Amino acid sequence: MDATSGVLEKNMGSVEGTECILATVGRPKKTNSGLGTSETGKGWSVLIRETEKLRMGKTRFCTILWALTAGAFISHGASSKHEFSGRDAPRSVPFAESAAAAKLSVEQIGDRVAYQVLRQREFPPGYTNDIQLEALLAWGEASGQPGYLEFVRQVNRDRKFPPGYTLHSYRLQVFSSLPFEIYERFRNPEYVEPFLSETRKYQAEALRAYDGVVSYYFPEYAVVLNPGVEVMYLDPKLTPILIDNAQEYASRLAKAGALSHDPNTYRDSAEQFERLRSALRDPANGLWNHGRGWYASAQTVTTTKWGRAQAWILRGLVESLSYLPPGSREHEQVAAVLTDLARSLLRYQDGQGFWHQVVDRPDSYQETSSTAFTSYYFARAVRQGLLPEQPYRQVSAKAFEALAREKISADGMVYGTCMGTHPLATVEEYLRRSTPVNDPHGVAAVLLSAAGQLLLTGKRAVPGIDDMRGVSQ
């Protein structure tokens, strides 16, 4: 669904570019489209202004940036001719203006895309911000630039949360878990018990569908149908399930098991994937549907094979296998699901290297986030020995090369990303989804894909990747 699970507009301001909000029952809330692309400025002045908003101060910020590639910020921080807003943005960048035409290295592309995140004015809690910050962590780790990691940690420290929510609230983390990712890099033990207690709370409070799959339903969640005008409140009788949050729930259990060494939590993680597979996988082609229980009945599946839905479940599988004990029954179960999905996705990568908005519809547009996420998680899986080097190394690299040719401008702008969406009733609705420039899903995914290419080179050890994330050791 790619819908944010984490803002109360009254307290925090809306999260830009999202499709779902925490809403006061009966009161539609507004969201903003775009990702702050009107804020450009020049190099250091932009970054200093951003850090003042984060209460970090100029001196501290200059210290943090010692490891970052300053040239990317200074040379490419000026106003770009690739600035777009709204829903009429082109889906590709002209080749002459692309990262490939500029003959940029992976490192240069990564730093210039990272700048699209750093130049944002604010980072309120919400998954579209969090996945970009997670991508900064992965990029900093893979490229050996610890300043990115420190930047993310400071952003998270300086966030303000609405009443009833804290840094660790699981209801702010139903698609991703930034505090856990920060813990993995810095190993602050103060993060452990809150993560475990919130996981137990999630297990106890989550609504379940008739087959045991965790539901996306929460009383305060509303899906924005028409920003500022119309929202849809989910029906608990339908126990709607959503691939986006179901994968995160299952991988969260695997991480909690690694922290607590609780075999029951490992088992619950693997069982969620098995149940989700039975509910959403199409046996005809091995691809996964986006959701179930959103229309008509609890059994009604939305049958479109949305590109980013495949990427979400791929993410959950690779993340979970990073924490499930190797050789365990649970690891073998989830590894089999990963192998099956990966083989299915291989059949649908087009000749240029892309996956499409609707994966089994080659007439649908070549979609950036699904291509980039898949590229990264294939690279991760190869690096961690979860998938064989061939053909997945080549497939991952081919996808990144396609992105550099057609979806990434020379100044790091990202094109062709489907905006967030809940499960839609018809394939035509997916085909009409807009592709805002610098949509946060695409920015995060491209940055991860660049990190994945560095993982594939094997030139340096990457703590937390090479030791299978490490927490269970």
Residues 408-424 pLDDT 10s: 999 999 999 999 999 99
Cα–Cα distance between 340 and 337 in angstroms, integer? 5
pLDDT for residue 221: 74
pLDDT for residue 18: 31
The one-character DSSP state at 36 is S
pLDDT for residue 86: 47
Q: Is 412:109 a contact under the CB 8 Å cutoff?
A: yes
Q: What is the mean pLDDT of residues 341-346?
A: 98
pLDDT band per the 50, 70, 90 thresholds, residue 359: very high
pLDDT for residue 472: 36
Q: What is the mean pLDDT of residues 91-114?
A: 97
Q: What is the mean pLDDT of residues 85-94?
A: 76
Three-state secondary structure readout of 15-34:
CCCCCEEECCCCCCCCCCCC
pLDDT tens readout for residues 40-59: 233 323 333 443 343 333 33
pLDDT surpasses 70 at 79:
no
- Considering only residues 244 and 234, tell me which one the structure prediction assigns the higher pLDDT: 244
Q: What is the mean pLDDT of residues 384-403?
A: 98
Enclosing H/E stretch for 302 = strand 301-302
Report the range of poorest mean pLDDT among 158-172, 184-198, 242-256, 446-460.
158-172
Around 274, how many Cα atoms within 13 Å sit in the side-chain half-sphere? 12
| Percentage of the chain lying above the pLDDT 70 cut | 77
Positive or negative torsion for Cα 86, 91, 94, 97: positive
Alpha-carbon distance values, 340 to 82, 282, 288, 337 (Å) = 39, 12, 11, 5
Domain 9-457 has CATH 1.50.10.10: yes
> What single-letter amino acid sits at 219?
P
pLDDT band per the 50, 70, 90 thresholds, residue 220: confident
pLDDT band per the 50, 70, 90 thresholds, residue 460: low
Positive or negative torsion for Cα 39, 41, 43, 49: negative
pLDDT band per the 50, 70, 90 thresholds, residue 393: very high
Structure tokens at 246: 């179901």
pLDDT for residue 437: 97
Domain residue extents for the chain = 9-457
Q: What is the mean pLDDT of residues 445-470?
A: 80
Positive or negative torsion for Cα 313, 318, 323, 326: positive
pLDDT for residue 349: 98
pLDDT surpasses 90 at 77:
no
pLDDT surpasses 50 at 34:
no
Cis status, amide bond into 189, omega within 30 of 0: no
Report the range of poorest mean pLDDT among 41-55, 204-218, 357-371.
41-55
Cα–Cα distance between 75 and 45 in angstroms, integer? 12
pLDDT for residue 2: 53
Q: What is the mean pLDDT of residues 160-179?
A: 89
pLDDT surpasses 50 at 147:
yes
Strand order in the sheet with 20-22: 20-22, 221-226, 230-233
Cα–Cα distance between 24 and 28 in angstroms, integer? 8
How crowded is residue 325: how many other Cβ atoms within 10 Å of its Cβ? 16
Q: Is 393:385 a contact under the CB 8 Å cutoff?
A: no
Query: How open is the CA angle 425-427-431, to the nearest 5 degrees?
Result: 120
pLDDT for residue 458: 80
| Percentage of the chain lying above the pLDDT 90 cut | 71
Strand order in the sheet with 241-242: 241-242, 291-292, 301-302
DSSP conformation letters of 181-229: HHHHHH--GGGHHHHHHHHHHHHHH--B-TTSPBP---TTEEEEEETTT
